[in-house]
Structure 1
């Protein structure tokens, strides 16, 4: 089992990664009305991950749970992430309806949550 210092370092690294991902997503989307976007974001961080804000929040959440050694936060994280994943699927359906084949091609090209998870299911 890793020591407390290593857990804190890992937590901090996840917090930094998550914050960076959120900042990159926010900068890319700053001029787009996300509730009803007029254009599809496919550049910047959105060129590498389809849902960088959700991924960033998940990394930040997990990092905080590790940094502060909060077992409850770690214990409920699978449930929270499952709820967020269902929201992601709902959003993707709406984006397919709004942007059609343009979004489907984007789904084929860019992974949902990162390099380790490939597109549509």
Structure 2
């Protein structure tokens, strides 16, 4: 790889990229409730942290610089290409934008946005009728929008791993699982046996799981909610 063009301090690109991806996701997710806004806000914070290191200040590279320069001499780690650490550390002599990790990353990000869009269309129609969302992505998993957010974040992690986003990712997974459990209780209270049957047949997050991945309480206080 040719590492000869420093590519940091470009805060205009941080702002532009953050806004583009956040607004793009917003157009699909359409947050309404406070829970929706919390999940979307955490996703947005992840993107801002990512692009801040990708184009603004490479904190991860500075912190790892002693180890990187000792183990990978001759590489300019302040160039943009070297910021694709997975390809650099593995010593792949290819343009990282065409490397395996970047290609997989693009598929994950595109798949995540597609899932957000497909889930929203089904959810919108179901909400208008006062019914459960059971078609499209909801026929495979109970929380396709959360899965979509996770796919996008995982894609960006493969493309440009940073210490902050690597720390944020498992925390966000736990938060999404907690939000999903709360949502399950509300929907059970609202739809009763219909939702219980749906949960028995449909996994929460991973479509290849035969059994549900969240425990559904038998009793819950009356409340209204919607799938995510």
Q: TM-score, normalised by structure 2?
A: 0.48
CA RMSD of aligned residues (A): 2.0
1:90 paired residue number: 182
Q: Could you tell me whether the CA contact under 8 Å between 1:62 and 1:74 is conserved in 2?
A: no
Q: Distance in 2 between matches of 1:116 and 1:82?
A: 20
Q: Distance in 1 between matches of 2:127 and 2:133?
A: 11
Selected match of 1:21 from 107, 110, 115:
115
Task: Give the CA deviation at 1:76.
Answer: 1.7
Determine which structure has more spread, i.e. the larger CA radius of gyration. 2
Q: Residue by residue, what CA displacement relative to the aligned partner does 1:60-119 show, whole Å, maximum 9, x if unpaired?
A: 111122223334212221111101110000000000000011000000111100224431
Instruction: Tell me which moved more, 64-73 or 99-108.
Output: 64-73
Alignment of 1:42-57 (within 5 A): 42-57=134-149
Q: Could you tell me whether the CA contact under 8 Å between 1:65 and 1:71 is conserved in 2?
A: no
1:105 paired residue number: 197
Q: Distance in 2 between matches of 1:114 and 1:106?
A: 15
Q: Which has the higher contact order (CA 8 A, sep 6+)?
A: 1
Q: Distance in 2 between matches of 1:79 and 1:19?
A: 21
Partner SS, residue 125 of structure 2: coil
Task: Give the CA deviation at 1:12.
Answer: 1.2
Partner SS, residue 50 of structure 1: coil
Q: Distance in 1 between matches of 2:103 and 2:164?
A: 19
Q: Distance in 2 between matches of 1:78 and 1:6?
A: 23
Q: Which ranges in structure 1 are unaligned for 5 or more consecutive residues?
A: none
Q: Distance in 1 between matches of 2:114 and 2:108?
A: 10
Task: Give the CA deviation at 1:26.
Answer: 1.0
Instruction: Tell me which moved more, 50-59 or 67-76.
Output: 67-76
Q: TM-score, normalised by structure 1?
A: 0.86
Q: Distance in 2 between matches of 1:25 and 1:104?
A: 20
Instruction: Tell me which moved more, 92-101 or 9-18.
Output: 9-18
Q: Distance in 1 between matches of 2:162 and 2:171?
A: 16
Q: Distance in 2 between matches of 1:64 and 1:86?
A: 23
